[in-house]
Amino acid sequence: MIKHLSESLYFAREHLGAFFRIIGPFIVVMAPVTALTEVMSKEFNGLYVPYLLLFTCGQAYFMCRLIKYMASVVTGNKVDLSVSFTEWYNLLLVYVVYTIAVLIGLVALIIPGIFIAAKYGFAEFESVLNQREPFKALSTSWNQTKGIVVTLMLGGALINGCAIVLDIPLDIISEISSTHKFVTSCLSSIISSVSMVLVSVFYFRLYVIALEEPKVEPSH
C-alpha cells in the first residue's frame, strides 16, 4: 500500500501544474462558496441543498477532465479534455449514487462506509474512460476491486485521515470570530478538495494496475 501511495503522490507532484490548471479553478472558486455557506447556514435554512448541487455538478465536470488527463499520461495518447453532456451526466449520477451508498455505510458503522467507498472507487474511471452507464460502472468497479479492497481502504483512509488532522487546528481557530471562521472554512475546503483529488489519483494508480494484470483463462 505504501509503495502505491508514494507512486501516486509522486505522480501528483510531477503533474502538479497540469492538475492545478484542470481542477484548480474549481477548488479556488468553491472554497469561498463553501465558507459562505457554512457562515450563513444558521440564518438561511436549506442553504446546503443548492450548495451540494453546485458542488456535485462542478465536481463531475472537473473530475471528468482530470480523469481524462491522467489516462492520457498513462496511455501516451493525445490529451482531450472536452466533456460531453453524456459524460458529465453519467459521472454526476455515479457520484450521487456513490455518495449515498457511502453515507449509508458510514451511518451504520465507519468501516462499512470505507469499504463501500473502496469497492466503488473505480466507478468514476469506468464511467469516463469506458463510457459505462452509472450502475454498470458501479457494478464493474465492485468486481474489479476484488482482492485489492483492503489496499484501497487503507490508502483512502490515510489520505483522508491526514486531511482531518490538518482540519483540527482550523476548527479551533474558527471559534474565535466569524472572520476567522470564514478564512478557516476556505482553507478547510481546499484541504478537503485536495484530499479528494489525491484519493482519486491513488485509486487510479490501482485501477491501472488492476487492468494490467494478466487474465487467467478458465480451464476446460
Contact of 81 with 23, CB cutoff 8 Å? no
pLDDT of 136: 96
Answer whether residue 215 shows pLDDT above 70.
no
pLDDT band at 39 (very low <50, low <70, confident <90, very high): confident
Q: Is residue 86 part of a domain?
A: yes
> Which residue in the block uniquely carries the three cell numbers 482531518?
164
- The number of folded domains in the chain is 1
Residue written as grid cell 451508498: 101
Residue 178: predicted pLDDT: 67
The answer to whether position 155 is within a domain reads yes
50 located within any domain: yes
Range of the domain at 66: 2-211
CA-nearest of 31, 40, 63 to 189 is: 31
Residue 219 included in any domain: no
The pLDDT confidence band at residue 120, using thresholds 50, 70 and 90, is very high
What's the average model confidence in pLDDT over 90-115? 88
What's the whole-number mean pLDDT along residues 172-176? 79
Q: Does residue 122 belong to any structural domain of this protein?
A: yes
- Please indicate, yes or no, if residue 216 is contained in any of the structural domains: no
Share of the chain above pLDDT 90, in %: 65
Is 132 within the bounds of a domain? Answer: yes
Measure the CA–CA gap between 115 and 130, rounded to whole angstroms: 24
The per-residue pLDDT for 73 is 94
Q: Is residue 218 part of a domain?
A: no
3-state SS, one letter per residue, for the chain: CHHHHHHHHHHHHHCHHHHHHHHHHHHHHHHHHHHHHHHHCCCCCCCHHHHHHHHHHHHHHHHHHHHHHHHHHHHCCCCCCCCCHHHHHHHHHHHHHHHHHHHHHHHHCHHHHHHHHHHCCCHHHHHHHCCCCHHHHHHHHHHHCCCCHHHHHHHHHHHHHHHHHHHHHHHHHHCCCHHHHHHHHHHHHHHHHHHHHHHHHHHHHHHHHHHHCCCCCCCC
